[in-house]
Chain A
Amino acid sequence: MSQSQRLSQGGMIDRSKPISFAFDGRQYTGYQGDTLASALLANGVRLMGRSFKYHRPRGAIAAGSEEPNALVQLETGAYTEPNTRATCIELYDGLVAKSQNRWPSLEFDIGAVNSLVARFLPAGFYYKTFMWPASMWMTYEKFIRKAAGLGVSPVEDDPDVYHGTYAHCDVLVIGGGPAGISAATAAAGSGARVMLLDEGSEYGGALLGTSDNAAAKSYIDSALGALGQSENVRLLSRTTATGYYDYNYITALEKVTDHLGPGNGGDAPRQRFWKIRAKQVVIAAGSIERPLIFADNDRPGMMLANAVGVYINRYGVLPGNDVVVFTNNDSAYQVALDASAAGATVTVVDTRRNVSADLKSKLEQNNIRLFEGHAISSVQGGKGVESVRIMELSADGESLQGQAWEIVCTCVATSGGWTPSCHMFSQSGGKLKYEESIAGFIPDSSRAKNSCPNVSAGSCNGVFTTQECIAQGVEAGISAAGAAGRSGSVPSVDTFAVNEIPQGAIAPLWLVPTVHPVGEGKAKHFHDFQNDVTAADIHLAAREGFVSVEHLKRYTTTGMATDQGKTSNLNALAIMANIQGVSIPEVGTTTFRPPYTPLTLGAVGGQESRELFIQERKTPMHEHHVASGAVFEDVGDWKRPWYLPKEGEDMHAAVQRETLAVRESVGMLDASTLGKIDIQGKDAVKLLEMVYTNNWQKLAIGSCRYGLMLNEHGMIFDDGVTTRLGENHYHMTTTTGGAARVMNWLEEWLQTEWPEWEVYCTSVTEQWAVLAINGPKARDLLRDLTDIDVSKDAFPFMTMREGTVADVPARVYRISFTGELSYEINVPARYGKHLIEALTEAGKKYDLVPYGTETMHVLRAEKGFIIVGQDTDGTVTPHDMDMDWIVSKTKEEYLGNRAQARVDTRREKRPQLIGLLTEDPTVVLPEGAHIVAEVLDKPPMPTIGHVTSSYMSPNAGRSIALALLQDGINRKGETVSLSMMDGTVHKAKVTDTVFVDKEGVRVRG
């Protein structure tokens, strides 16, 4: 049965290049230039998949990207891709595809039992059945997920490479059919920089499916050749414009090497995602034929009329030897003639009674039977159409009458008219208008969005002859180029005519009647093939009140499948309009949304995946940490050493050792990531006074002060130490994660509220490498390396000294986040590595221990120092943190001042920071654990607070915790209960927040 439906001649395939491929485990042969769908049809395979809900047998109905049925699982393993349209897969040697949603096989599918219980699976079935009781959903879901569905996602990593790229142009032309090609030619001739995109492998659009496509091809080649010569033109085939966003920002997916097969793309990426900014856009996206909706119109062999023409003319494949053409307009007559010329026995069934004499005579000349005023009443055949019965339509088109005739056929070519592809125009924000003469929506150029200048041309604009399309394209190209400021001399653009019969006078028949009322009897009238939605579902939605177009869509799922209703939406709207007795524009359309066709997520990500997904910030000492065996933690974008385990140590052991060492000898921490802002100018102190809660007027040069920043809600949002370096010169530090936020905060106020102030803020975070040395031996260690007098009196706590450390210039800040004697040594970033190496060497005799952020957290918690963002969450005031000591009572004004006097920030029983000591000192409470007012048998229990920080403290010799507790400050000494997820309850005593060195002697040592 090798290529039994392949015509002996014709088509644009390369018969000298046979290609072998496998579908559902069987080997077939096609030709270079085939799609998977055309090659399967050539081999007599009509059945390509099972439908989503009812598991009905389905075949391809289209020849392009609008295909709803023929979705296959392409390739295997890591390369596998679900829901791929067979009509868009270019055939390559060794291609492997499988049909979807069938088990155990396509021919015999157990799920087809859904068809037998179809009565019980109408629209809204999920909502009605599974909303209640909620617990039963868990049971139903497994069944539903297995029974309904499409392809299977790959489980392995995507082995392919994707690129993203940007482009700018004067005129972007979307669609490379006759309108698009002529628009690009005219625009390029005007001197515009032009991009021309087409989703197909070949330019030409509908021309490729005509019987004189050989002549068309030479016309296209000559036009493309001329465009290709032009330096200001970029041609992108296999490229689909997927989204149209504000200000003419268009995204497009280029399938660079998909057509070569997996792994055969060489160095080229699999796909490229274009982000294009165009001054003007010409939309020449073409149009999509609608199926007629009649009883059992989904049997394999049923196709859109134009698709039959394309398979015959472009691919040299006759989809069936006996063809019934079922139409309500003229365009399908060309398909009847083409099929007849290809050797098929053809019958035309036209719902209209006034077929023109010209068309009738053409049919007669070719011995094609014509039934006027008739319609298909039923279809015979399960896995493929075997025959249809036709009956006469009543004058009003609402019923069938007279005798039924049976016509044997294996292919039914249907045309319900043409729907202009308004997706791009609609996505750009433009509104559509209904055009009675073509029974479809077209762009209303008077209601386009000003920020998205575009013009539609060709059949997406409602004109259907090649010559009209070319003429509109030329006009659009010239006007777009002109609007983009290019108005050079425009060359004349050749026009071209093909064998085609335009749609002509269409007689809409949105739902073909049967002998039964819709919804009764066994037959189904599908309008949305991919989501298995029928006309009866629309009737049901109307009966139940879901008449708004947006409700109709969601209730029936019409247009919500991966094809987004390209072939179904207008039919659905029209059926609803008929039910309600209103016009189609009164029903309206749903919103067109990107992407136009399904899009590979990998392509959207482009190069920004894996290690390039997010930038990593590394300190100048990073290499040293790596060599020291540090385990890293992400803090913002920074990589910070988390802990530095010795051989055989786990995290707990390493942190306990590091924490003890800091208080016993000396430890060092890379603090380079702390935010640092250099502030200068005569009004610098005014800025500090406004952004911090405490006083800054009297800070001496060379002295440091801790500050707390509030937002205008009065809530803490950052903290840090700021040092006065000179008369009008300050060095501010911020939290690691808050650096950018604080910088923006300062700039916002300075630029928008106090622009007259003379203050300059410069981020210097990355200019300085910082090592913090902490512990009783810190002074001894520093003394060995510096020319600064480090004696207690010469260099007291909360001051800064400049000098050299390890022979490089340094600023040393005697500040402490551990409660120990501590120095933060700042050197220019380029000396960071040198500094840590010098300290490591010099520190040997003092048992210097490098430590990471986890130990830093334990050490500061032992002292009750808060971490903004851990112990605070944007809802706590300084008072809640028991930090009234840092809030000025004398300053007239600062940011966040007024909010602290609000009723809510003053109310009693706000959560306040306290310490917790568990009754069992070995219990480390989980952070986030709830303090409950009352222990009940099971949750929920009334919560009065939660743990914010919790560690095993080797220096306290027990577990410690910080927590936010309602009215906590007044509860010190009380015992509270904490309820764990597993039901255990821990008791803990409420204490103050300082667990080590309560008098604060060590830090001043």
Chain B
Amino acid sequence: MFIINCPYCGDRDQTEFSCHGEAHIPRPTNTATMTDEEWGDYVFFRSNPKGYHRERWLHDHGCRRWFNALRHTVTDEFVATYKVQDPRPQIPGDGDQS
């Protein structure tokens, strides 16, 4: 049972939140010209890493705001939570900004 730092409300119990999978997957704007494979990749495929993961959370039973979190999927450590429009926080020990 995590404690999650909502960027709008502060530390709250996990029961107030729901997780909505990988973050930073923008909806394509060229859907008409996409192949089925490209479209399927957008709709169905996610990275599912063992390690640090940027993911979307919703503070359902609170401010009802969507935000992003950088969480380690093994240790469940939240490195950071950040607003949708905020820059992506860096993965610890990794120069990669992606």
| Binding partners A and B | yes
Residues in chain A within 8 A of chain B (CB atoms): 245-247, 249, 277, 429, 449-451, 712-713, 744, 747-748, 751-753, 755, 892-893, 897-899, 902-903
Contacting pair A898 B31 (CB below 8 A): yes
CB < 8 Å neighbour of B20 from A246, A748, A899: A748
Q: Kindly supply a per-residue 1/0 record for chain B positions 24-67, scoring 1 wherever the CB is within 8 Å of any chain A CB and 0 otherwise.
A: 00110001101010011001000000000000101010001110
A903 to B35, CA, bound (A): 10
A sample of 18 inter-chain contacts (CB < 8 A) reads A247-B76, A277-B13, A449-B76, A450-B75, A713-B43, A744-B60, A748-B58, A751-B65, A751-B66, A752-B66, A752-B84, A753-B26, A753-B27, A755-B84, A755-B85, A898-B34, A898-B39, A899-B43
* Given A712-B43, A748-B66, 5 additional A-B pairs, CB 8 A: A451-B76, A755-B85, A893-B31, A893-B32, A899-B43
User: Residue B77 at the A interface, CB < 8 A?
Assistant: yes
A451 to B79, CA, bound (A): 11
Contacting pair B66 A246 (CB below 8 A): no
When distances are taken between beta carbons in the complex, the residues of chain B under 8 Å from A712 are: 43
**Whole-angstrom distance between the Cβ of B41 and the nearest chain A Cβ:** 12
When distances are taken between beta carbons in the complex, the residues of chain B under 8 Å from A450 are: 75, 77
A748 to B13, CA, bound (A): 21
Q: Which 7 A-B pairs have the closest CB atoms?
A: A898-B31, A249-B1, A751-B66, A247-B3, A245-B1, A752-B66, A712-B43
**Whole-angstrom distance between the Cβ of A608 and the nearest chain B Cβ:** 13
When distances are taken between beta carbons in the complex, the residues of chain A under 8 Å from B58 are: 744, 748
Among A249, A713, A751, A899, residue most surrounded by chain B Cβ atoms (within 10 Å): A751
When distances are taken between beta carbons in the complex, the residues of chain A under 8 Å from B1 are: 245-247, 249
**Whole-angstrom distance between the Cβ of A274 and the nearest chain B Cβ:** 13
Q: Whose C-beta in chain B lies nearest to the C-beta of A740?
A: B60
Q: How many A-B residue pairs have CB under 8 A?
A: 54
When distances are taken between beta carbons in the complex, the residues of chain B under 8 Å from A899 are: 39, 43
A752 to B1, CA, bound (A): 25
Contacting pair B20 A897 (CB below 8 A): no
Contacting pair B77 A451 (CB below 8 A): yes
Number of interface residues of B (CB under 8 A): 26
B67-96 contacts to A, CB under 8 A, are: 75-77, 84-85
A249 to B20, CA, bound (A): 23
Known: A752-B84, A898-B31, A899-B43. A747 touches B75 (CB 8 A): no
Contacting pair B36 A902 (CB below 8 A): yes
Known: A747-B66, A902-B39. A246 touches B26 (CB 8 A): no
Contacting pair A747 B64 (CB below 8 A): yes
A751 to B60, CA, bound (A): 13
A897 to B32, CA, bound (A): 9
A449 to B56, CA, bound (A): 23
When distances are taken between beta carbons in the complex, the residues of chain B under 8 Å from A753 are: 26-27
Contacting pair A246 B65 (CB below 8 A): no
When distances are taken between beta carbons in the complex, the residues of chain B under 8 Å from A245 are: 1
A897 to B27, CA, bound (A): 12
When distances are taken between beta carbons in the complex, the residues of chain B under 8 Å from A752 are: 56, 66, 84
Contacting pair A897 B31 (CB below 8 A): yes
When distances are taken between beta carbons in the complex, the residues of chain B under 8 Å from A892 are: 32
Q: Whose C-beta in chain B lies nearest to the C-beta of A243?
A: B1
When distances are taken between beta carbons in the complex, the residues of chain A under 8 Å from B76 are: 246-247, 449, 451
When distances are taken between beta carbons in the complex, the residues of chain A under 8 Å from B13 are: 277
When distances are taken between beta carbons in the complex, the residues of chain A under 8 Å from B3 are: 247, 277
A222 to B53, CA, bound (A): 51
A249 to B14, CA, bound (A): 11
A805 to B63, CA, bound (A): 36
When distances are taken between beta carbons in the complex, the residues of chain B under 8 Å from A277 are: 3, 13
**Whole-angstrom distance between the Cβ of B95 and the nearest chain A Cβ:** 22
A712 to B32, CA, bound (A): 14
When distances are taken between beta carbons in the complex, the residues of chain A under 8 Å from B40 are: 902
When distances are taken between beta carbons in the complex, the residues of chain B under 8 Å from A898 are: 31-32, 34, 39
A822 to B66, CA, bound (A): 39
A902 to B58, CA, bound (A): 30
When distances are taken between beta carbons in the complex, the residues of chain A under 8 Å from B60 are: 744
When distances are taken between beta carbons in the complex, the residues of chain A under 8 Å from B64 are: 747
When distances are taken between beta carbons in the complex, the residues of chain B under 8 Å from A903 are: 36
A449 to B64, CA, bound (A): 30
Contacting pair A449 B75 (CB below 8 A): yes
Contacting pair B39 A246 (CB below 8 A): no
A751 to B32, CA, bound (A): 24
**Whole-angstrom distance between the Cβ of B61 and the nearest chain A Cβ:** 11
Q: Whose C-beta in chain B lies nearest to the C-beta of A904?
A: B36
A899 to B39, CA, bound (A): 8
A277 to B14, CA, bound (A): 12
A450 to B76, CA, bound (A): 9
A897 to B84, CA, bound (A): 25
B1-24 contacts to A, CB under 8 A, are: 1-3, 13-14, 20
Q: Whose C-beta in chain A lies nearest to the C-beta of B1?
A: A249
Q: Whose C-beta in chain B lies nearest to the C-beta of A748?
A: B66
**Whole-angstrom distance between the Cβ of B1 and the nearest chain A Cβ:** 4
When distances are taken between beta carbons in the complex, the residues of chain B under 8 Å from A249 are: 1
**Whole-angstrom distance between the Cβ of A711 and the nearest chain B Cβ:** 9
Contacting pair B84 A751 (CB below 8 A): yes
